[in-house]
Structure 1
């Protein structure tokens, strides 16, 4: 009994809070009305005025249903009679609660009267709580004192509850109201009725749970009757009372214990309660009541399924049908042609979908035929979404449930299949994935989603394009998921002609559907969202077909070549999705090569240089992407074209890089650290990629291309500094530089990258920031310096040039002469091309040569080599001085001539 008293206090406290909010709104409006009657018209807040205008029909309907209340307002004494009738708030008009009479004109607007609050609101609230607790305590007292027998005591409590409910109805009909501010905040009829309901609940529960005076069936019936009657009474007393009735109705099955509980009895009662709540909520458009009803019955469904080993399938099917029927025919009645979104539908969609998913995935239930029953529930969900466009949440729930149910069947990790026995074993537990049950169910569901989805998409195509797109999406997604699951679980993962044929048929069907939808659009052939979803389904089906019908190598090659098809289709159809399908092929091929860079697997890759699977695996997609970019440039010319151009460049570079690595590692591309030769190839590719991206960006400006070109240059510089100069430098690694005098490792690793860096720096001038060109020019100069210096050392040391092999005097002198000559060459080039970077590099190189001569050659060289070193240095420095004087003189003469 104490528990019931606590529940009563909590619920009545909720009522108090709600009434307090309504009181604040009424007092605000009354303050505005006082100013109107005083002669100063003050407009009400715009949001409240708009709300009142939207709810005007509800207010009129309420006035017609309660003529006594309206008449009393109009006949009220003083100047407030007619005005008060117009001050009914939208919430009062919907809930049926009477409007508040304004306070006396002498009261300041917005200022609360403590005396009025205590005398009208708090007194009523506390009185209602006292009445409810009094009824409960009366039952408890008669139990403890033993004054009367059980029948008399419970009869008295029941009469008291009925008396309270009757008093509430009497007060409502006679209209006892106090014409002061705040009286409407404590709606006496609703509070009295609520107190009576709690008393009746307590009496019936005591009769069953305490005394066993009545059986479980009678108690169940009486508690349900009280709860439903309370919900019905909410039509005239407001939504808060409906909440009390709903709480009691949902608690009734838990309060009544039975030795032989009946699932049909439980869900029959819940069905009646849900239908009654739906009717009341639909009449008043009480979203909270409807949503709470779906939540309560849905929780009871989950509790039932968790409490039994094998649920009664018929009960679950019938109750799922009742839930969807209440949603479709009661709550959403009259919304058949309105493609609006109803958020209340999310609740039944979740719980009905959870029921279907449980029938699919719980092993014991699935083995006993759960998937077939789940398919029936999914079919009912799809039918509900077809009948009521506002029930879009049910459609999404049906699609998600079906997709999840089939995806979880795929074998993963430690799961091993025993297809011969018709079951699959997961961690030692039999799992219901029998081909004889799963495949037919999947076929039926696939056809259901295709038929209902495409028909509904055509139906809503022009009235609601996004709703049509949703239907098209699920019409494509569900069959494809079922096909994928069937292939992975029951088919041959390498090559499966049967599933491949199904994939081709789906691809063709979705293409036909896309054409049909495009022709039905207004204007025709604009390629809206629904058409895009159908094309995406066709592309996915084609992707599955390639994986099912061909081996790894042909799948990659054909997938890359497939990018040409949507690009060519843009010649006849200007659908935006076509270009993006070509771009999607780039992503798909990238995913494949990231998963397996060898294209066909390391064990099947030939060791023959160049002419192996790497050439078509990377080269054909590069050519296809390039052709697709060329075609898109002449039709759609949007972002997809840029993606295709970048994809073509990337795969061309990847083809060269992979072929180089394959050749240098004897046919093995995934073992060993890269050598300097291999790294040189990668650096050249990075520099080339930077140039290609700059060229593409100049043709079609794009932030992606601009940032990508900058990133390629920076990566190249990092490669040069980290790998060429430090980690892989032959001076450090003592790697063989080759036996050929000129075209050797130094030529590949230093001279070619230097030329490429200079070329990119020159090409990027004026097209990229100054620091970018300067950085690349500096890298080129350093690479050229390294090439020349290391070539001199190779001339003296041969194939291996490690630093620890020592240095002879002639070699030492040669470096000085070389650096001076290079400094002069850089100075001439800097002046010739107007490059300050080259002139600065010249000065730095000559400074290094000067320091070497004075600090190193002076102590290491002897005889004529020492003399020649200083003579050469002096001659070069004097020559540089004369060169600059001549240059400055010529500039001054030219300036005077101008």
Structure 2
């Protein structure tokens, strides 16, 4: 009875669909007659044409109307399925309805728009009556078949064979019913019910039933063997995917899911990877052909992802994966992508294909396993991986839309060659400047890996430059990607082979290879630039090629020369791209010079001694530090000068900053070398050494201001400001604070005048004052005021510390106490310094110095009243107050005369 009920339900659906088709055909005929006989006016009233039509129908000339009627009937013949209907039925549930509501013909335009907007609104009745009912009905049919089998099992009505036969018949009937309804002219009659395409849902239910029947016949009852079940399930899956051509993408997804799940459902005692991946190749190819016909990108991406997951599962679970079958399935994936999915209309579909991301990921992962798996080393795994990489490059070369495949091939190659290097298991001790414990990790012989590296390097280099030039005028993304990998992959391969198999100290053979790469990339960049539109503009592809040439230069210098010459030549290399700007205006050239600055900075950060601490001579000044810092500084300065006359952009500013930085670093390193007896270590900085650094920084500020006045530059302007601020911070924190001999009790030297106090306080005071005076009118007022204040503080410190040294000798620590005469001397000194600062401030017109003098005198006044009154006795206390009073009265008289002369000057200037 259940079977009869299901069959009756299907027959009822067919009858209803047939009746709906006939009603729709009658409505179309009536609409056509209405258009021919009763045209309607815009205001809804019948016009004169209706009257004329009626008269013509009653007159003898009414034959013309009859002929028109006959023509209308021929235009809408009463055939079972019209040509338009057949096309619509074939298109499946996503095809648009070929007809509109006939009432829209006789209504005004405004009413028609209102009705259209009304039909687009969500309608619960439509959803319940069309989409949901059909969906639930389809699920019910599929579950009904399963419950029927279950019921027959529990009741023991039929044997297993009969039950499976009945289930198979049900699946075939459902599939046939879906096809029958589709062929009889079924279409979705209601707008918004496109997802309730009954033929597709019936076909899907039939496919589910057939899948379950075959699996039960094998897995539950054992009626058929694994081979037969495997083939039958595959046929059901592929047939379901093929049926999607007329039923839609959703049915194709169901078939694909069943086809991909088949190997999991069917187990074997002796599984064959060739059978598995041969079957997956067929499924992938069939899906690719169907997806290409309908341009179903989601279906194609799902197929690639499913096969890719099978590849990963095989590599993880198989005790000994066969690299031959891995090569096979990866080549199949690339063939389906390049020849099937992207094989049609390549020009019309030019651009970036998102579907190729999935195969790029999985093929790259399998290639990396073939490269790096030690078990494959003696079986030809690396060469097989090289074959897959070549196929990936070929796929992208002739199908540019599959650009992700290029990225996958490049990354797999990079990781494979980086994995064999000692850097993969290196331990670097940064406390020693060149201590690296390495342990080479190789998976194949030296010669074989070198040959593979040469082949892949040449492949990326040649294919990359050729493709970059080919696409440079049409696609920046394509050309830039090819050029970038054409430079990066050969360079990484060369570096990996050199570090693994070459002489890390000096290897001229690998240096020759790097030199060849330098020449090829430089010539290739120029070759690509000539194909640009307009030519020789230096776009992204040219920039990547020339950047690769710059990296090849760095690699070549490291391979061919020792530490010192490498640093010096790297600095000198900045001149080459700067000079090239005389003939080419490529934007990358200036940045290549900046790259040289970065490379040299990295080297000196790793080894500031240039040649290594144990090889550095102890001779002051004339050692490797001088050329190691001076040559790069001069080269960077020349490059900045050249760039200022050609490109004059940000690279020029960076080169100016690099030149100034290396000049300061060079002088500082030479000073430290001399101050520490020719040894560069991480020992504490002394006050004398810090004084030299402060003098260097102040001098650098003056030099930057001077150069900026001749050749204005924001780098020089801000660099001079930074130098002044750093000097002020150093003076306050180091000279007056941390390294002050009052707190450290450091020896000030045995020489009376030219001692540590002279070097650390008086000379910086004079330098800060001179810079403040020189910067007036050239830098902001706060800058000169700050430096003038630093000079005054240093002069005050020098005078005060010199008094203490006079009384205490070489060591002047605070804990040695203070006598009455020394206490009085400070008061007299500070008053004297206040007067001197006042006079100098008036002479040079410095408001800051006058304020400093006032502050110093105020400190002296406070000291006399608060300290001297209690600490001094006898004549010293009297002299202290007498001297203070005399100085204050003298300052008052001085200011009175100064203020009295001011009106005289103003009147004199007014008369003039």
Coarse TM-score class (shorter-chain normalised): 0.7 to 0.9
Structure 2 partner of 1:57 = none
Shift of 1:773: 3.7
Shift of 1:381: 0.3
| Contact residue 503 and residue 545 of structure 1 kept, 8 A | yes
| Contact residue 194 and residue 241 of structure 1 kept, 8 A | yes
Aligned equivalents of 1:265, 1:374: Cα separation in 2: 22
Alignment match of 1:121 (pick from 112, 131, 134): 131
Shift of 1:857: 2.8
Alignment match of 2:162 (pick from 148, 152, 156): 152
| Contact residue 74 and residue 82 of structure 1 kept, 8 A | no
Structure 2 partner of 1:399 = 410
Q: 1:168 to 1:603 in 2, by over 3 A?
A: same
| Contact residue 339 and residue 464 of structure 1 kept, 8 A | no
Whether 2:837 is the aligned partner of 1:826: answer: yes
Aligned equivalents of 1:675, 1:554: Cα separation in 2: 31
Aligned equivalents of 2:384, 2:96: Cα separation in 1: 58
Aligned equivalents of 2:447, 2:639: Cα separation in 1: 44
Whether 2:261 is the aligned partner of 1:239: answer: no
Cα-to-partner distance string for 1:707-730 (whole Å, 9 max, x where unaligned)? 655444333333222211121111
Quick check: 301-310 or 673-682, which moved more? 301-310
| Contact residue 119 and residue 191 of structure 2 kept, 8 A | no
Alignment match of 2:279 (pick from 269, 274, 291): 269
Aligned equivalents of 1:72, 1:311: Cα separation in 2: 50
Shift of 1:343: 1.5
Q: 1:653 to 1:330 in 2, by over 3 A?
A: same
Give the unaligned 5+ runs of structure 2.
1-39, 44-82, 428-436
Superposition pairs of residues 288-437 of structure 1, within 5 angstroms: 288-334=298-344, 336-337=346-347, 339-412=350-423, 431-437=442-448
Aligned equivalents of 1:219, 1:706: Cα separation in 2: 82
| Contact residue 367 and residue 431 of structure 1 kept, 8 A | no
Shift of 1:395: 0.9
Shift of 1:478: 1.0
SS state at 2:617 partner: coil
Quick check: 673-682 or 71-80, which moved more? 71-80
Aligned equivalents of 2:413, 2:440: Cα separation in 1: 22
Shift of 1:648: 0.9
Cα-to-partner distance string for 1:448-483 (whole Å, 9 max, x where unaligned)? 111111111221122223322221211111111111
| Contact residue 830 and residue 836 of structure 1 kept, 8 A | yes
Aligned equivalents of 2:640, 2:451: Cα separation in 1: 43
| Contact residue 420 and residue 440 of structure 2 kept, 8 A | no
Structure 1 partner of 2:583 = 572
Q: 1:695 to 1:232 in 2, by over 3 A?
A: farther
Structure 1 partner of 2:238 = 228
Superposition pairs of residues 170-185 of structure 1, within 5 angstroms: 170-176=180-186, 179-185=189-195
Structure 2 partner of 1:811 = 822
Shift of 1:414: 5.4
Aligned equivalents of 1:279, 1:39: Cα separation in 2: 51
Superposition pairs of residues 345-744 of structure 1, within 5 angstroms: 345-412=356-423, 431-691=442-702, 709-744=720-755
Structure 2 partner of 1:186 = 196
Q: 1:343 to 1:712 in 2, by over 3 A?
A: farther
Shift of 1:112: 4.5
Shift of 1:331: 1.5
Cα-to-partner distance string for 1:202-252 (whole Å, 9 max, x where unaligned)? 111101111111111111111111111111121222211111111111111
| Contact residue 227 and residue 245 of structure 1 kept, 8 A | yes
Whether 2:70 is the aligned partner of 1:66: answer: no
Shift of 1:764: 4.6
Superposition pairs of residues 17-28 of structure 1, within 5 angstroms: none
Whether 2:291 is the aligned partner of 1:281: answer: yes
Q: 1:640 to 1:75 in 2, by over 3 A?
A: closer
Q: 1:799 to 1:394 in 2, by over 3 A?
A: same
Q: 1:214 to 1:104 in 2, by over 3 A?
A: farther
Shift of 1:412: 3.5
Alignment match of 1:851 (pick from 851, 859, 862): 862
SS state at 1:449 partner: helix
Shift of 1:551: 1.1
| Contact residue 423 and residue 438 of structure 2 kept, 8 A | no
SS state at 2:609 partner: coil
Q: 1:707 to 1:149 in 2, by over 3 A?
A: farther
Quick check: 719-728 or 116-125, which moved more? 116-125
Aligned equivalents of 1:588, 1:527: Cα separation in 2: 23
Aligned equivalents of 2:106, 2:560: Cα separation in 1: 81
Aligned equivalents of 2:154, 2:847: Cα separation in 1: 106
Aligned equivalents of 2:188, 2:425: Cα separation in 1: 75
| Contact residue 396 and residue 402 of structure 2 kept, 8 A | yes
Aligned equivalents of 1:843, 1:356: Cα separation in 2: 80
Q: 1:679 to 1:107 in 2, by over 3 A?
A: closer
Quick check: 138-147 or 643-652, which moved more? 138-147
Aligned equivalents of 1:584, 1:428: Cα separation in 2: 31
TM-score by length of 1: 0.85
SS state at 2:608 partner: coil
Structure 2 partner of 1:89 = none
| Contact residue 557 and residue 616 of structure 1 kept, 8 A | yes
Q: 1:107 to 1:695 in 2, by over 3 A?
A: closer
Shift of 1:632: 1.5
| Contact residue 171 and residue 207 of structure 2 kept, 8 A | yes
Quick check: 673-682 or 834-843, which moved more? 834-843
Cα-to-partner distance string for 1:30-80 (whole Å, 9 max, x where unaligned)? xxxxxxx9989xxxxxxxxxxxxxxxxxxxx99884378899955676235
Q: 1:106 to 1:891 in 2, by over 3 A?
A: closer
Whether 2:268 is the aligned partner of 1:258: answer: yes
Aligned equivalents of 2:647, 2:267: Cα separation in 1: 71
SS state at 1:856 partner: helix
| Contact residue 121 and residue 185 of structure 1 kept, 8 A | yes
Shift of 1:792: 2.3
Give the unaligned 5+ runs of structure 1.
1-36, 41-60, 84-101, 417-425
Aligned equivalents of 1:756, 1:774: Cα separation in 2: 14
Shift of 1:314: 2.4
How many residues are aligned here? 816
| Contact residue 89 and residue 185 of structure 2 kept, 8 A | no
Aligned equivalents of 2:835, 2:321: Cα separation in 1: 93
Q: 1:663 to 1:317 in 2, by over 3 A?
A: same
Shift of 1:132: 0.9
Structure 1 partner of 2:102 = 78
SS state at 1:66 partner: helix
Structure 1 partner of 2:13 = none
Aligned equivalents of 2:342, 2:96: Cα separation in 1: 35
SS state at 1:184 partner: coil
Quick check: 670-679 or 746-755, which moved more? 746-755
Q: 1:340 to 1:182 in 2, by over 3 A?
A: closer
| Contact residue 74 and residue 81 of structure 1 kept, 8 A | no
Q: 1:354 to 1:391 in 2, by over 3 A?
A: same
Aligned equivalents of 1:499, 1:285: Cα separation in 2: 49
| Contact residue 73 and residue 82 of structure 1 kept, 8 A | no
Quick check: 74-83 or 277-286, which moved more? 74-83
